[in-house]
């Protein structure tokens, strides 16, 4: 089974209802289902057969705008076993790690399955995502979340309960994504699995983890100079000529570190650094 549906709403679809105050509710459509709210009930039958972007009314006349929810909305509302990777970071991973259709991707630290959904959509039906998770309870939550979003089992996904270092048996992998407490412990396994030119991308929460990961990649000798960064998201309020940044923003959620696998036997060129006190390149 698979990917996002198009066309009118059907039984089994997950639909996001947005009220006039922009409060959102996600429901799964059932033949005889009813969405109950303090603003009145909405029978699911009022939605089934309607196109996306329709407006439905509750029993007391409150209007709700109906769409199939986006992946970013789903990941923020999904049941959690472990913390999820926020959509802003998942988007950076898909883009900056160059996850492409048909890619073979290893993910270690599946958490609640949020990033897994982004990866599966990016690799498409011809790609493959292999997810490693040490804890059975997290793997169970992730499996339910992924299958709920895609509507069933995914042929392009394999979930392995176990430690990456002990269980990995893949080679010539295009991309490796690590989301774990001590990713530097998996650098050797990642190097063995990645094809030359492949990308490793690591998600960590603290500067200490980021520093240890960067140094481990440098010391291993099989990777290009690591690139470390974070993203900050700030919404804007726009009402006519009243244009200003919102008072709240999504600040730090995590750091990302990426590097590329070099060919076997290649020594990375020495890094050039600017001498202290000057801006002139060596």
112 assigned to a ligand binding site: yes
163 assigned to a ligand binding site: yes
Instruction: Reply yes or no on whether the pLDDT at 5 is more than 70.
Output: no
Query: Would you state the pLDDT for residue 141?
Result: 94
Query: Would you state the pLDDT for residue 282?
Result: 43
Instruction: Reply yes or no on whether the pLDDT at 79 is more than 90.
Output: no
- The answer to whether 233 and 249 are in contact (CB under 8 A) is yes
Query: Would you state the pLDDT for residue 251?
Result: 85
166 assigned to a ligand binding site: no
228 assigned to a ligand binding site: no
Q: What is the overall mean pLDDT for the chain?
A: 90
- Identical topology for domains 14-69 and 73-260: no
| Fold entry, domain 73-260 | Rossmann fold (3.40.50)
Tell which wins on pLDDT, 47 or 38: 47
Instruction: Reply yes or no on whether the pLDDT at 53 is more than 90.
Output: yes
Tell me whether strands 14-18 and 227-229 are parallel, antiparallel or unpaired. unpaired
Proportion of the chain above pLDDT 90, given as a percent: 71
Q: What is the pLDDT of residues 144-184, one digit of tens each?
A: 999 988 888 999 999 999 999 987 888 899 999 999 999 99
Tell which wins on pLDDT, 190 or 274: 190
Instruction: Reply yes or no on whether the pLDDT at 106 is more than 70.
Output: yes
239 assigned to a ligand binding site: no
Which token pair is 74? 């789903």
Query: Would you state the pLDDT for residue 274?
Result: 65
Tell me whether strands 157-161 and 128-133 are parallel, antiparallel or unpaired. parallel
Instruction: Reply yes or no on whether the pLDDT at 130 is more than 60.
Output: yes
The domain locations on the chain are 14-69, 73-260
Query: Would you state the pLDDT for residue 214?
Result: 97
Q: What is the pLDDT of residues 188-232, one digit of tens each?
A: 999 999 999 999 999 999 999 999 999 999 999 999 999 999 999
115-133 mean pLDDT? 96
What's the pTM value of the predicted model, to 2 decimals? 0.85
| 14-69 is a CATH 3.10.330.20 domain | yes
């Amino acid at each position: 089974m698979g990917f996002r549906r198009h066309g009118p709403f059907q039984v089994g679809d997950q639909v996001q209802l947005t009220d006039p105050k922009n409060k959102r509710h996600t429901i799964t459509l059932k033949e005889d289902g009813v969405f109950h709210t303090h603003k009145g009930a909405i029978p699911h039958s009022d939605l089934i057969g309607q196109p996306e972007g329709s407006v439905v009314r509750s029993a007391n006349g409150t209007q709700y705008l109906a769409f199939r929810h986006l992946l970013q909305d789903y990941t923020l509302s999904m049941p959690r076993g472990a913390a999820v990777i926020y959509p802003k970071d998942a988007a950076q991973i898909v883009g900056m790690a160059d996850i492409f259709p048909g890619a073979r991707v290893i993910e270690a630290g599946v958490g609640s399955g949020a990033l897994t959904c982004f990866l599966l959509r990016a690799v498409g039906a011809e790609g493959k995502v292999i997810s490693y998770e040490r804890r059975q309870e997290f793997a169970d939550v992730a499996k339910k979340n992924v299958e709920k979003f895609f509507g069933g089992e995914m042929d392009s996904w394999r979930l392995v309960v176990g430690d990456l270092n002990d269980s990995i048996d893949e080679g010539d992998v295009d991309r490796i994504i690590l989301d774990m407490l001590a990713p530097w412990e998996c650098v050797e396994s990642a190097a063995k699995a990645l094809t030359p030119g492949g990308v490793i991308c690591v998600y960590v929460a603290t500067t200490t983890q980021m520093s240890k990961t960067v140094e481990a990649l440098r010391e291993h000798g099989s990777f290009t100079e690591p690139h470390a960064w974070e993203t900050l998201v700030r919404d804007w309020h726009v009402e006519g000529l009243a244009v200003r940044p919102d008072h709240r923003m999504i600040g730090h959620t995590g750091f990302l570190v990426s590097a590329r696998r070099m060919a076997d036997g290649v020594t990375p060129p020495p890094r050039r650094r600017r001498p202290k006190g000057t801006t002139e390149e060596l």
